[in-house]
């Protein structure tokens, strides 16, 4: 959990989500509310996809590494 709290990607996703929610809630035009919704969902989806990619890459065996001794 400590790695998540020190991750720059995590804090950028949090900031983008908060910004999107503020834009979504703030009274304004429909365009600005749609922009807030897209910003919020986009940041969350991008963060989840990025973390999933890193987790998948970390779980792969490193057989192709030139330092593996093969």
> Domain-by-domain residue ranges, the chain?
31-57
Measured CA to CA, the distance from residue 66 to residue 55 in angstroms comes to 22
pLDDT in tens, 8-54: 878 888 888 888 788 777 777 788 788 888 888 888 888 888 888 88
Q: Residue 35 contacts by C-beta under 8 Å, 6 or more apart in sequence?
A: 23
- Residue 25 phi/psi, 5° resolution? -80, -35
Is 67 a residue whose pLDDT tops 80?
no
Determine how many CB atoms are found less than 10 A away from the CB of residue 15: 11
pTM flag (> 0.75): no
């Amino acid at each position: 959990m400590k790695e998540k709290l020190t991750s720059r990607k995590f804090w950028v996703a949090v900031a983008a989500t908060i910004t999107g929610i503020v834009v979504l809630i703030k009274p304004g035009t429909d365009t600005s509310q749609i922009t807030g919704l897209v910003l919020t969902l986009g940041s969350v989806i991008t963060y989840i996809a990025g973390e999933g990619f890193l987790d998948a890459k970390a779980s792969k065996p490193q057989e192709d590494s030139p330092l593996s001794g093969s």
